[in-house]
Amino acid sequence: MRKIKVRGSAIRTGLKCITGDIVLIQDADLEYDPEDYVKLIKPILEKKACIVYGSRTTGKNKKSYWSFYLGGRMLSFFTNLLYGSHLTDEATCYKVFRSDVIKKIRLVSKKFEFCPEVTAKLLKKGYKILEVPIRYYPRSISEGKKIRFRDAIEAFWVLIKYRIT
């Protein structure tokens, strides 16, 4: 049986239904701690930011597989190189937005490429992304970790594509 990755599609569907002032995106696998919600939304409530990413790399978190960790660091470096940003964790699955900001971004992703797509489009429009440290409890592949090498290649391509278009 073929597994279908629908992360981007699910997020786009959810974004059509938002009614509040803040949108918080979190994977359902609980690698990220819901107790971090307060520190993630606080900069938006205090009008210090309109976009906040939770960074797995700025705290004392356990690292995922070396290849996943290195891939995430390389994606962040590449994002910073292309867009002049200073992100430490572009691929984080903890992303928080003011609703009016995320509604202005036309998203087309269907799978894991949501992260580089939304990041690229926000940075290209001149938005600044604030990062806050979060707690991270990485899963193993046997526990259901689904991201693969081909997803990293696609992420790099998405970052390039939206830089030049």
Indicate whether 149 pLDDT > 60.
Answer: yes
Task: Please state the φ and ψ torsions of residue 112, each to the nearest 5 degrees.
Answer: -70, -10
Q: How far apart are CA 142 and CA 51, in angstroms?
A: 33
Which secondary-structure segment (H or E) carries 55? strand 51-55
For the segment 76-95, the average pLDDT, to the nearest whole number, is 96
CATH no. for 7-164: 3.90.550.10
- CA neighbor of 85 nearest in space, from 44, 129, 42, 117: 129
DSSP string, 99-141: HHHHTTS-----STTHHHHHHHHHHHTT---EEEE--B-PPPG
Report residue 5's pLDDT band, with 50, 70 and 90 as the boundaries: low
Percent of the chain with pLDDT over 90: 65
Q: Record the tokens describing residue 127, joined without a space.
A: 């938005």
Calculate the CA dihedral of residues 39, 112, 147, 58 and round it to 10 degrees: -30
Q: What is the pLDDT of residue 62?
A: 67
Report residue 1's pLDDT band, with 50, 70 and 90 as the boundaries: very low
Global confidence as pTM: 0.90
Q: What is the pLDDT of residue 40?
A: 98
